[in-house]
Amino acid sequence: MLSKKIEEVLNKQIRIEAESSQIYLAMACWAEVKGLEGISNFMYKQSDEEREHMLKLVKFINERGGHAFISELKAPNVTFTSFKEMFEMLFKHEVFVSESINELVHISLEQKDYATHNFLQWYVSEQIEEEAMARTILDKINLIGDDKGGLYLFDRDINQLTVSTASTISPE
């Protein structure tokens, strides 16, 4: 059974994950109308992934005797001056989400809710990957600079981008 405190903070995270999905969706739309098909496809996939993160929380709350609430969402930014600015905003947002997840982990330990603590470990690992991906993308964008050919290649290749993190590397 979830405590009211845990239920409350998990419901706040539902909103954050839903807003994350909307942020990625807005970025996908912006990239698509700019002719950046690879970036838009990447963002559509990320939007779907964030929605899945939200649904995991919904199911967890309901399965543990709580009540998941779906609230209004803050409208995302829908225009960007450049794709670099867009990815910089994305990275900052992923850091914000990581901080929120870390606070949830802290609260679950304070409340001695070890089931929720265990459940949240997946989100901790996921955020390590999300931040690493955003950081890698920004590194590549900085390498490209203003080179249009580089942007073309980046847009073409972003869907094949993979990032290995400490949690994804298996020891031999």
pLDDT on residue 156: 86
Domain 4-160 = CATH 1.20.1260.10: yes
Instruction: Give the mean pLDDT per block of 10 residues along the chain (172 residues).
Output: 96 98 97 94 96 98 97 93 94 97 98 97 96 93 87 85 62 60
pLDDT on residue 121: 97
Q: Please tell me whether 106 is known to bind a ligand.
A: no
pLDDT on residue 166: 59
Q: Please tell me whether 53 is known to bind a ligand.
A: yes
CA angle 41, 57, 77 (to 5 degrees): 45
In the numeric block, which tokens belong to residue 147? 């080179």
Ordered by start, the domain boundaries in the chain are 4-160
pLDDT on residue 170: 59
The residue whose two tokens read 């929605």 is: 51
Is residue 66 within 8 A of residue 2, CB to CB? The reply is: yes
Q: How far is CA 33 from the centre of its chain?
A: 22
Q: Please tell me whether 17 is known to bind a ligand.
A: yes
pLDDT on residue 96: 97
